[in-house]
Structure formats: structure tokens, C-alpha cells
Structure 1
Amino acid sequence: MDIEYLRTIITVLREKSFSKAATALNVTQSAVSHRVKFLEDHFGGRLIDRSGTELMPTDMGLRVLKKAERIVQLEDDLIEDVANLGGDRTLSIGTTVAFAVNHMSNIMNNSFLSHSEGANLKILVQHPKALLDGLKGGFFDITAIEHNGNLDFSGLKTFELPDDEMVFISNSAPELTSYDSPLSWLLDNRIIARVEGCSCRDMLSENLNKCSLQLSDFKGVIVCDDMKFMIESVLTGQGIAFVSKALVVDHLDKRRLVAHSIEGFNHFRRITVAIKQEKCNDDKIRSLLGAIVDITKIAAISPFLWLPLLQS
């Protein structure tokens, strides 16, 4: 069983609300409802009493809640224990997909390796909420997270990188003469979307909600977690997608793909680099942060002159 389902039931009963739990977990309310239903089907009974003004655990739900809290705490303790083991130091960086594809190779080749003799580096790609939980739990030393501005970075040292532009992509320019708007043309296509929990999927849903629309209003929906497959599918005319423009800039320059922006939509998501406050003076983490800052061109001066700001 995915431990995120247990975290979900804990959050729902703590917040006493599906909508508040969705906000806290950085997922859609439908995702929260789906996870709770999965658990109720799995355990064969109602876990939540929905009859009152606030959600309350049933007798079965209370038993599941107590065990779930112990399981989640055990996982958090395990992550922290492993992170604190002695021996050769391995830096662990967690990133979202687009950031990893756009920047990590340059960070590795051009900056980090040349300034960190003998350093070992582990790079893991996960969804925003999992990255934030992993950082707070000690699983990551540093994270670079693309998000929609609704993550809780309290207690962490954070640095904002330039926003990431998101666009719809297709393999041909639209013929709009028979459509009311560019958006109506997009809706007449199959959408290839990321899985729930990804910031691009959440951002797409938020934009659609502004227009009283949802994914099911497209001609068809394909959900996948492979960015390369998504882009290749669009290239071969299998549908459209909502992706980071930086991922497809070469295809756009060579006119293999066409980018579309919709008036009124939010097309920019934030990129936040975060570390724990107590690791601000760690030389290897500072070096890695400097490499990230250098490659993403966030500072006008040398990042190694900029890094003392960590202590401010």
C-alpha cells in the first residue's frame, strides 16, 4: 500500500475536511477522495463519519488512524536514521522532472563536480509534495521544486529561481476559422497529462477550473508519468500536452512543435530551492547550492560570493 494513502487519511481526520486536506497535501480534492475510498474498499468499511458538520473517524477509522500514525512515524524515523549514518558523505538532491531534465546535467558537468572533490551525489526525481516531505524528513539535503505557490516551506531556508514558463504544445498550428477561440481548438484534441500530484497537472486543472472546465472536457485524456513519452506522442500527432517550455525549446526552434498560450491562464510556475536551516553552513551543500544558482543564472555575481547570504 502506498504510504501516501495513509498520510492522506491522517490529514483528512486531522483537518476534518477533504478540501483542507487537499490543500495541505498539495493534491486535488478528488485525489483525496479517491485515496480515502481506496482505503475504505481495502479495509472493507467506512473510515470516516460524514454525517456531521465535521468529518470524524468511525470506530474502524480510529483504529486505522492510530496504526497509520505509527507506520508514518516509523518511515520518517527510518529516513532520518539512514540520513544520519556515518561513513562517506553522499549528498542527496531531490528535484521535479522538468528541473532535472533542464538543469541537472549542466550542474553536474559544469559546476558541481569541478568544485566538490570526491563528493558523491544521489539525484532523485519525485513529485513536489514528496520532495518537501523528504527534505523535512531528512531524506534529501537539498531540493529544487517546481510548484504552484501552495507548498509550505516554513522552517526551511529557501531561494527563488526564475519562474518556469508552461505552454500547451501541438505538432501543428491550429486552424481557428471553425472554432470560437484557441482554447476551444485545444479542447478538440486529446490531452496527454501528467499524473496527479505533479505541479503541471495541478496547474492545468487550476487553469481549467477558472473557465469551469476539467480534463474530461478534452476530446480524450491520456495520463502518463513519462515526460519523454508525452513529448514524443505530441510530435507524432497523438495529442497535445501542457509542459515546461524549456523542455521543448529545441523542437520549437526547429518548428517541429508549436507553443500555445491562453489568455487568462497562469503560464508561470515557481521554482524554489530549499534546505534545512541547520545545514546552511555545510560546505558541500553550499557548493551544490552555488552550482544550482550558477547554472540557473539567478545571481548577477559569482555564486561563491553570494553564498554568505545563507547565514543571513
Structure 2
Amino acid sequence: METRYLKTLVVAAETGNFSRTAEILNLTQSAVSQRIKFLEEHFGQQLFDRASTGLVLTRIGARIIGKARAILTREQELRDELERFSSEKRLSLCCTPTFGTAYLPRVLNRFLLQNADLDDLKFIFAQPDQAIKGLLEGDFDLAVIEYCQDLELEGLFIQPLPEDELVFIGAPQLDLGEEAVHLDDLQRHRLYARRDGCSSKRLLQQNLEKVGSSLSAFPGLVISDDLRLTISSVEAGNGISFISRSLVVEQLAAGTLRAHRVPDFRQIRCRSVVLHPHRTAEPLLRTFLDCIEDVCGTGSCTLAAEAVPADGRQ
């Protein structure tokens, strides 16, 4: 039964006449009469004595009115709770592990300082295709991804960030020499790589295929999703890795790691914020993007008028 019928019953009992009930509920008097008649037929009982002085609840009507008020109270409580929920500040985001490790802590620190009243924050690390899938399915409000392959981005808003540079890293004791190295020199060492689906591994495989080589040319292969473990292992001299320079800025500056590149290897991948076009004006998302801009220091991630939904290719 629709609660509007119970609401009509309660108001009619409080006013004592159909005319006043119709005014309060913005209905015709005929509509009020029909609703009361519906209830009486539904319960199989007369609910009002129609006296000349006005409407008077019958004994059954008095019992039903108490239950009706309780139901309407519960409904209003639910409405109030839903209204509070919809007004709460919530943010759910997904990012690839490199951005999450190198930049997200500083981004979140700035964001939370500006949004101390944030009710709920969720962030997940995932590979690019998983992040986009979650965004399309409504699991996330936005995603920040690094990628080097074509992704299915049609209909989404893409805001480019500074490109991400990948380098080979090795400890000084490996004595790999200058920044530019031969691939043969690198393939004398164990390689730490990410699992399938990671764009850094995909880019490395593409580079190796271009020169007629593969991952199997390395004397050992360690697959790890723990970026910090990879960095510490390479820093200890246990092998090399093809990784974002942004992850090892401190180690490179301190001299505990060295960056190397192979001539003609592609070492750049895209980095972008991805969200639905209709959400680009939401204040909370714009604030988060401003925080990314502050951390990146480029001004490139402000939602600009010239930015357009992606056509599916980058």
C-alpha cells in the first residue's frame, strides 16, 4: 500500500473534515474521499463515523491511525537518513600503483587538510584496465592511471598529467657505467618486473620485441607488485628494474641508485586523470584535481574548457 493513503487518513483524523484535508494535501475533496474509501475497503472496516459535526474515528479507525502514524514516522526517518547520506562528502578513487606510491600521499594530505569534514574516503590501487572498468561500473568517482597502450576510454573525460618517464635502475656496485647503456650489459643481471597488465612491463616487452629480445634473455626474473620491495632489492644490488623515475627520486639524488637508458628504447608513458564528463564541475572532484596540480607543480591538471571527452585512443 502506498503511504500517501495513510497520510490522507492521518490528516483527515486531525482536521475532522475532508475539505480541510484536501486543502492541506493539495487534493480535491473527491480525491480525499476516494482514498478513505479505498482504505475502508482494503481493511474491510469503517474508519470514520460521518457525523454532522465532522469526521469521528471509529474504534477500528483509532487502532489503525496509531499504526499509520508509526509507519509514516518510519518513512520520514528513512527520508531524513537518505538526505543526510546524499549530503555527505564522499570520494572514491582508483589509481595505478606508481602514482599511488609517488604522489598520492601528498595529494591526500593536501586534500584532507582542505576537507576535514569528509565523511568517507576510499582509494584502491589497480592496473589501468581494472581502474577504467571500475570507473565505468560506478565503483570510483575518478581514476589516475599511467598507460602506454590503447584503452577503451570513449565517452570519458581525460585530463592529461605530466608524462611519466621510465628508466632502468641499478645499484652503483653493479658498475653499469654511464646513463646510456647497452642492453647486453643489463641482461647480465636479474630483472625485477611487475605482473602482466602493468604498463611498465608492457612497455618493456614492446621495447625488447623491437630489438629482437624478450624477458627470457635476463638470467632471472622476479615478479613483484610491491614497488618498495623492488626498489630496496635493487638498491641492495640484487638486480635491476625498469621503473618510473618518480619512484626513485630520493635514491637517485642520494646516489644509492643509478638511472640508465637503452638508446632507441621508448621510455615515456601517459599519465591522466579519468572521470565521467558530467562530473567535471563537482566541487569535491575539482578540489581533488587542484591538489594533484599542486603536487605535480605543472598546472596541467586543471579542468580546462578546451579539454574534451576522449575518443578512445591516446
CA distance in 2, matches of 1:308, 1:214: 41
Q: What secondary structure, in the 3-state scheme, does the structure 1 residue paired with 2:162 have?
A: strand
1:234 is paired with a residue of what secondary structure?
Answer: helix
Give the unaligned 5+ runs of structure 1: 1-84
Partners of 1:261 and 1:173 in 2: how far apart? 17
**Alignment correspondent of 2:272:** 272
CA deviations 1:167-206 (Å, max 9, x no partner) are: 00111265579xxx62101011110110000111111111
Distance in structure 2 (CA, Å) of the matches to 1:280 and 1:167: 33
Q: Secondary structure at the match of 1:165?
A: strand
Corresponding residue for 1:309?
Answer: 305
In the alignment, structure 1 residue 161 sits paired with structure 2 residue 161:
yes
TM-score (ref. length: structure 1)? 0.66
* Cα pair 2:168 2:261 within 8 Å, conserved: yes
Amino acid at match of 2:210: K
1:274 Cα deviation from its structure 2 partner: 0.8
1:309 and 1:290 map into 2 onto residues whose CA distance is 15
Counterpart of 1:145 in structure 2: which amino acid? I
Unaligned runs of 5+ in 2: 1-84, 309-314
Residue by residue over 1:237-293, the C-alpha shift from the partner in whole angstroms, topping out at 9 and shown as x without a partner, is 111101111111111111111110111101111101011012122211111122112
1:115 equivalent in structure 2: 114
* Identical-residue share of aligned pairs (%): 31
Aligned partner of 2:90 in structure 1 is 90
Residue in structure 1 matched with residue 24 of structure 2 by the alignment: none
Once the two structures are superposed, the pairs formed by residues 1-312 of structure 1 within 5 Å of their partners are 86=86, 88-110=88-110, 112-119=111-118, 120-172=120-172, 175=175, 182-299=182-299, 306-307=302-303, 309=305
Contact 2:159 2:303 in 1 (8 A): no
Deviations 1:72-109 (A, max 9, x none): xxxxxxxxxxxxx8573420111111101111111122
Alignment-mate amino acid for residue 92 of structure 1:
S
TM-score by length of 2: 0.65
Aligned AA for 1:105?
P
> What SS does the aligned partner of 1:162 have?
coil
Whole-Å separation in 2 of the counterparts to 1:168 and 1:311: 33
Change (3 A) 1:253 1:260: same
Give me the CA root mean square deviation. 2.2
Matches of 2:293 and 2:154 in 1, distance apart?
21
Please state whether the residue corresponding to 1:281 is helix, strand or coil. Answer: coil
Distance in structure 1 (CA, Å) of the matches to 2:200 and 2:249? 17
- For the Cα contact (< 8 Å) 2:100–2:125, is it kept in 1? yes
- For the pair shown, the structure with the greater C-alpha radius of gyration is 2
- Whole-Å Cα distance in 2 between the matches of residues 101 and 255 of structure 1? 20
Question: How far apart, CA to CA, are the structure 1 residues paired with 2:303 and 2:175?
Answer: 50
2: CA distance between counterparts of 1:173 and 1:142? 42
Per-residue CA distance 1:120-176 (angstroms, 9 max, x = gap): 321111111100111111111011100004112210111101111100011126557
Gap change, CA 1:230 and 1:311, over 3 Å in 2: closer
* Residues 249 and 308 of structure 1: CA distance in aligned 2, closer, same or farther (over 3 Å): closer
Does structure 2 retain, via aligned residues, the 8 Å contact 1:280–1:310?
no
For residues 262 and 174 of structure 1, the distance between their equivalents in structure 2, rounded to whole angstroms, comes to 16
In 1, the alpha carbon distance for the partners of 2:98 and 2:176 equals 30
After superposition, the C-alpha distances for 1:47-89 in whole angstroms (9 at most, x for unaligned) are xxxxxxxxxxxxxxxxxxxxxxxxxxxxxxxxxxxxxx85734
Change (3 A) 1:276 1:218: same
Q: Distance in 2 between matches of 1:310 and 1:289?
A: 16
Distance 1:190 1:252 in 2: 20
Distance 1:86 1:228 in 2: 38
- The amino acid across from 2:272 in the alignment is T
Over 3 Å counting, the alpha-carbon distance change for 1:100 and 1:176 in structure 2 is: closer
CA distance in 2, matches of 1:257, 1:87: 48
In structure 2, the CA distance between the partners of 1:309 and 1:291, relative to structure 1 (3 Å rule), is farther
- Which amino acid is the alignment partner of residue 103 of structure 1? Y
Amino acid at match of 1:146: E
Q: Shift of residue 310 of structure 1? A: 8.2
Partner SS for 1:99: helix
Where in structure 1 do 4 or more consecutive aligned residues deviate above 4 Å?
A: 173-177
